[in-house]
Amino acid sequence: MLKKILIANRGEIAVRIIRACAEMGVRSVAIYTEPDRHALHVKRADEAYSLGEDPLAGYLDPHKIVSLAKQVGCDAIHPGYGFLSENAEFARLCEEQGLVFIGPKSDVIHKMGDKTQARDSMRAAGVPVTPGSEGNLADLDEALKLAEEIGYPVMLKATSGGGGRGIRRCDSAEELTVQYPRVISEATKAFGSAEVFLEKCIVNPKHIEVQVLADSQGNVIHLYERDCSIQRRNQKLIEIAPSPQLTPEQRNYIGELAVKAAQAVGYQNAGTVEFLLTGNQVYFMEMNTRVQVEHTITEQITGVDIVREQIQIASGLPLSYRQEDIQYRGYALQFRVNAEDPKNDFLPSFGRVSHYYAPGGPGVRVDTAIYTGYEIPPYFDSMCLKLVVWALRWDEVIARGQRALDDMRLHGIKTTANYYKEILAHEDFKRAEFNTSFVPDHPELLKYSEKTHPSEIALAIATAVAAHAGW
């Protein structure tokens, strides 16, 4: 079993991994840059070390992180998600320096991170992929010719892309001509690669992803699916497990496809296989070679601690479960409560959290790294917390989500919480009839009224009194 793990991340996912380490008797090491000096993951870890003044450079420096891990006696690094989590060179450096990278092997990260290689691997394994280019596009002329063959609309995507970046929908040859250089420019700046590919745009699909676990003994299982169709500009907002829109036959079929996909590339550790579903047709989209932001809801419906399994797998141990052991119960929702103003085109709303009260009660979980007085820095992702609710029935989990969002008090910044309450109240959502077009098709949901809660008034009075009294 691993003894000491450096967590190459920050925020709530770092806190999540620290908690798993504590339960397993594994020593945790946090890293931070100057804006994170007082962050929760720094306070909670067994040890914490600075990576310097620059907000981002340290988190993105694989050599500095690996050197520090060796210097302080770690035997493994957990990358979390984001930052270097899907960086094949980082994983390779860990392997070369005798550190365990808690994730798949570097060659698998490289293969699945290259979207065209991933599509080729899936074709060879018999996993259906969307019609499109069989490699990277040579130039605009090739893109235009292929788009004409498969029919518009098409999606132009960065080969090394992720996180919703480097993607453009093109509905005509004119749009493709305009977007082609833009995607190449964005891909080069964001991912260091100018390679792009093209695929048929599946209009208004359901976005379904499957959590898989695989050990070094060749055992691969799935933990059922998550529905991520509630998204804005390819960024997920609300995630659901299991999908209330699948039939049992579809659920079994997609789960089996995900296992086949993982087996095809010799996958190890936790990963997610993402699909697009339209009618009864399923298409492979991509594989995320890391723990997902939304792993929480899979844990809620299955009882499997995914981060614990990651550490055990990385320790060389077999999976704790067989496929027949995995059952799901009820429904879970995850709300990404972001420091954004939905009424102002979702602009970031960084600043000081003047008051924070976490929701609680039956079936409520909060993963966060914020606290009252915490200053949300402007250098990182805008997510403040992940609010997760669970209940046995679909109508019950919606009601619990409304109640938990109402319970939460987060003052000092704008957040997306009130917007999510509008989504939950929509009849289509309550009937579990939605796809990836739900958010853009319902701009009226942004017209909610901002109500001042009595707690905000009380807080303002208390602050004014304290200031007047010179406290």
pLDDT tens digits, one per residue of 220-239? 999 999 999 999 998 999 99
Alpha helices of 232-378 — where are they, by DSSP H?
Answer: 248-264, 295-302, 306-314
Burial of 248 by CB count in 10 Å (0-12 exposed, 13-18 middle, 19+ buried)? exposed
Contact between residue 222 and residue 259 where contact means Cβ atoms under 8 Å apart: yes
Residue 454: which pLDDT band, with cuts at 50, 70 and 90? Answer: low
Residue 314: which pLDDT band, with cuts at 50, 70 and 90? Answer: very high
Per-residue CA distances from 335 to 169, 231, 364, 365, 386 (Å): 26, 11, 11, 11, 6
Identity (one letter) of the amino acid at 332? A
Please choose, from the candidates 55, 84, 82, the residue with its C-alpha nearest in 3D space to the C-alpha of residue 69. 84
pLDDT tens digits, one per residue of 251-268? 999 999 999 999 999 999
Share of the chain above pLDDT 70, in %: 95
Q: Which residues of 33-54 are buried (b: 16+ CB within 10 A; e: fewer)?
A: bebbeebbbbebbeebbebeee
| Cα–Cα distance measured from residue 282 to residue 285, given in angstroms and rounded to the nearest whole number | 9
- Residue 453: what pLDDT? 58
pLDDT tens digits, one per residue of 269-300? 999 999 999 999 999 999 999 999 999 999 99
Q: What's the average model confidence in pLDDT over 355-375?
A: 97
| Cα–Cα distance measured from residue 190 to residue 262, given in angstroms and rounded to the nearest whole number | 27
Place of tokens 């808690």: 102
| Cα–Cα distance measured from residue 287 to residue 115, given in angstroms and rounded to the nearest whole number | 9
pLDDT tens digits, one per residue of 402-417? 999 999 999 999 999 9
pLDDT tens digits, one per residue of 456-467? 555 555 555 554
Q: What's the average model confidence in pLDDT over 343-358?
A: 96
Domains of the chain and CATH, by start:
4-102 (3.40.50.20), 131-200 (3.30.1490.20), 209-447 (3.30.470.20)
- Residue 161: what pLDDT? 74
Share of the chain above pLDDT 90, in %: 90
What is the set of active-site residues? 290
- Residue 234: what pLDDT? 87
pLDDT tens digits, one per residue of 323-338? 999 999 999 999 999 9
Residue 191 has pLDDT above 90, yes or no: no
Q: What's the average model confidence in pLDDT over 81-93?
A: 97
Q: What's the average model confidence in pLDDT over 144-163?
A: 90
- Residue 459: what pLDDT? 56
Identity (one letter) of the amino acid at 287? M
Please choose, from the candidates 358, 386, 387, 388, the residue with its C-alpha nearest in 3D space to the C-alpha of residue 372. 358
109: CB partners within 8 A, 6+ apart: 86, 87, 88, 91, 103, 289
Contact between residue 234 and residue 286 where contact means Cβ atoms under 8 Å apart: no
User: pLDDT averaged over the chain?
Assistant: 94
| Cα–Cα distance measured from residue 36 to residue 47, given in angstroms and rounded to the nearest whole number | 14
Residue 189: which pLDDT band, with cuts at 50, 70 and 90? Answer: confident
Residue 339: which pLDDT band, with cuts at 50, 70 and 90? Answer: very high
Residue 88 has pLDDT above 60, yes or no: yes
